[in-house]
Chain A
Amino acid sequence: MRINRRDFLKLAGIGGAVFVLGPHNLAGAATKGKSQGDFFFLQLSDTHWGFNDPKINPFATTTLKTAIAAVNSLETQPDFIIFTGDLTHTTDDAKERRKRMGEVRDIINELKVKNIKLMAGEHDAGLDNGEAYQEFFGKTHYTFDHKGVHFIVVDNVSDPTSSIGDPQLQWLSDTLKPLDKDSRIVVLTHRPLFNLYPQWDWWTRDGAKAIDLLTPYKNVTVFYGHIHQEHHHMTGQIPHHAAKGMMLPLPAPGSVPKRVPIAWDPAEPYKGLGYRSIEAKGEKEYSLTEFPIKKG
């Protein structure tokens, strides 16, 4: 299924972001209309390594590896890959938490692409304020630049109350200050910054403060995880795109009384799971392509 770009823009009333939905040839998508500065990266999210419930995912120990094999077989490899949090499934056992982190790190190392950016989710960092995560993977909020795009990773999970916190908000403000108002900025978070569905804790308590800081900038796009499904939302001129998870699909916000994972359907294995490519095109466009776990 492909939505014509102009139709989509009309439908969504969006100037900056283009979403192209449905799986197709990434190599084709990535090379088409390539001009200087164009590039693509992948967003993988919510791998929940250590999750164990065969009713939800009978292939819990191989799903990530299957996806990595599919990524490695892409004709054109992405410039980098970002994992938007919940690398591991949470555990009360601090030793087990570290074991899971070591294991997921080793699996991720199997990727051909060596430029890997990692982020924490509350499952990784919520029980120990990110201590184990930082031992393995370093800082939980940071920036990097890639071909003219400023990427800002915001941590809204190490604080178990779903908050960014004032010190980090100050850091965000300081990070943004030197940038031109039309700089190309991508913000990466685990939780939605906006109030998607606070009833299920799908929000960031002080996310509005971050959005306020970002709003003067004309060219900001947010990619996040946490909700284990595709979701697109605008706050002002800022698009927010949630990615699918890679272990357990979750229901649409408020669609069922309880926020419990969707059961595995043998007729449609890996349904609801996947990852996406994000192609940065021209001045400010992003083309999103959703991929299933398994190729073909």
Chain B
Amino acid sequence: MSRAALVIARLTLREALRRRLLWALLGLTVLLVVATGWLFGRAAELTPFEGGERQLILSQLLVMIAFMFSFVLTMTGAFAAAPAIGPEIENGLLLAVLARPVRRSDVLLGRWIGLALVLVGYALAAGYLEVAVVALTTGYAPADPLVAPPYLAAEALVLLTLSLAFSTRIAPVASGSIAVVGFGLAWMGGIAGGVGDYLHNDSLRTAGTVAHLILPSDTLWRGAMFGLEPPPDVLAAAGSQARIFTVSPFFAGTPPPPLWLAWCLAWVVATLAIGAFLFRRREL
């Protein structure tokens, strides 16, 4: 990695700090944590269920909250990345930068690193806080409480990458919107695939696979869900009661296979490469 990319990454971080993006995120996190604490406190008090069932219900509630959180994260990533390149070409800011010994790919990579650091930092901090607050207010902890937040961070990173790659060529509103719609479609594709699995329907399964190949955010979301679920023995103890959960779109029976995780990584690298290619061919 070139030095110029690191300079741009640092510049991006400084800008996030100076423009109070980090502070806004911090404020949002506090709000989120307080709201979650209150909600789960009430839920824990009011639920008539006991033992494994109680655990399952709390885990589902947590997954739903996490889904909302993943959406917020994705929006943050997509809309932070959407204006990262294009407007700076149009307003001339990049003319002065690119006239230095700096490649366009350095600018793209630097932007990506800087934004990714902000996003991942935020996702991990807020994610772990959430898990901790739920554990404190309800006593519910996922099988491995460390697993879900990195998946959530990675999911948002996928959409950030997509939005950044598009931002080299199209207007910020468009590239942010594409990322958000893509997020929704990929999620629905994942549900189609899940239903296909359950019903043994090949065309639904294929739809799910294709969605995961085109935009692998849902693969990572499934990892996050898996990371928020109760340990297998709790599920087993709940017996037939647990079956209703296993067909829910908010349930993942297994973590994403390593091959799919590798695909996520390859997808991010390839998308950045496409972004660099698009950027290189753009007239300043």
* Co-assembled chains A and B: no
Question: Which of A's residues lie within 8 Å of B, judged by CB?
Answer: none
